Amino acid sequence: MTPKEKAEDLFVTFYQRYDDSIYSNESAKIEAKYCALVVIDEVMSALMGYDFYFWHEVKTELDKL
């Protein structure tokens, strides 16, 4: 899986959890990105150097969504 594919996968995982009747489309996107970034930061902290570059690229791709 490429960093871009992983970024999209994480984003979609969180985005699907937001109820359309509660969140606007844009609000749901912002929240989904935020949640995915929190997960990535946790993974990067846990790895402490291992595969750090991959997760940095995932974070970069997520910012582009």
pLDDT tens-digit map of 8-35? 999 999 999 887 767 688 888 999 999 9
Per-residue pLDDT of 41-63, as tens digits, reads 988 888 776 787 888 899 999 99
Q: What is the pLDDT of residue 27?
A: 87
Alpha helices in 1-65 (DSSP H): 3-15, 25-47, 52-64
Instruction: Judge if pTM exceeds 0.75.
Output: no
* Cβ(15)–Cβ(29) below 8 Å: yes
* Cβ(61)–Cβ(32) below 8 Å: no
Q: What is the pLDDT of residue 34?
A: 95
H or E element in which residue 24 lies: none
Give the whole-number percent of the chain exceeding pLDDT 90: 46
At position 20, the amino acid (one-letter code) is D
